[in-house]
Amino acid sequence: MKQTVIIFILFICILPYMGSIFAQTPPNTLSEQEKSEGWVLLFNGVNLDGWTSVGRQTPPERGWTVEEGQLIVNKGGRQRGGDIITKEMYAQFDFYFEFKLTRAANSGIKYFFTRYEQGGWLGNEYQVLDDDFHPDARAGRNGNRTTASLYDVLPPDGNKQMKPTGEWNVGRIVAIGSEVRHYLNGELVLTYDRKSALYEEAVKLSKFNEVQPGFGTVEKGYILLQDHDDEVAYRNIKIKVL
């Protein structure tokens, strides 16, 4: 009898959590709440519908595959296809994605991606990198080329928590007005103001110092997933316009 009572009490204790476990939304789908809040899926888990490439109306014919609900940029060589971009441009947004790295892999999410008068096609980049094994993690200044940094401009918080290579990490970029925030696995790791003196000084020290108009000062741009010659998987890519 005592054992039965103990089991019953344990069941009562975990009951409130069971609903949340079974209510989790499957990858590449939106919950009813997300739909009501204005979230839109950018990857349907099946194909590259909704994605294009620079100068074209379609995505690359090779280099990207969809496997078991994962959008995978393949290892380079003859299979390299190039970057893919959204069909729409965005100014203020909440962008969510999940990524899984292979050893020493490099990729990234570029936003406000557009063609500059001087500098060509560019965008602010949320770096996606295997910090442990890719040499870029030790290049740049103060970690401004590690995961969740604003690539080559500003580093993330040194206390960021990243999952091991081969496990899923969660990235998020929120842009409101001139302020941008980078999140990694639910934690805010970088905040910057594109109109601030701090940002301007950091850009001057970067590879983007001669870009015109000033790098990152554009009003809107596409969102880009980078093909950097390494295998990286993405899923649950979604956006809410703010």
235 and 93 in contact (C-beta within 8 Å)?
no
The pTM assigned to this predicted structure is: 0.88
Residue from 92, 96, 112 nearest 185 by CA: 96
- Which residues touch 112 (CB under 8 Å, ≥6 apart)? 123, 124, 175, 216, 218, 220, 221
Among 79-93, 96-110, 158-172, 189-203, the minimum mean pLDDT is found in 79-93
Record the tokens describing residue 216, joined without a space: 């990152």
Write phi, then psi, for 18 (nearest 5 degrees): -65, -35
Write phi, then psi, for 232 (nearest 5 degrees): -140, 140
- Cα–Cα dist 74/227, whole Å: 8
- Cα–Cα dist 101/184, whole Å: 14
pLDDT digits (tens, 9 = 90+) for 138-183: 998 999 999 999 999 999 998 899 999 999 999 999 999 999 999 9
- Cα–Cα dist 140/129, whole Å: 13
Q: What is the pLDDT of residue 103?
A: 96
Q: What is the pLDDT of residue 171?
A: 98
Residue with tokens 């194909």: 47
- Cα–Cα dist 132/81, whole Å: 26
Question: Regarding the domain with residue range 31-241, which homologous superfamily does it belong to in the CATH classification?
Answer: Exo-inulinase; domain 1 (2.60.120.560)
Torsion from C-alpha of 207, 209, 212, 218, nearest 10 degrees? 80
- Sign of the torsion formed by the C-alpha atoms of 53, 56, 59 and 60: negative
Record the tokens describing residue 49, joined without a space: 């519908």
Domain boundaries, the chain: 31-241
pLDDT digits (tens, 9 = 90+) for 170-225: 999 999 999 999 999 999 999 999 999 999 999 999 999 999 999 999 999 999 99
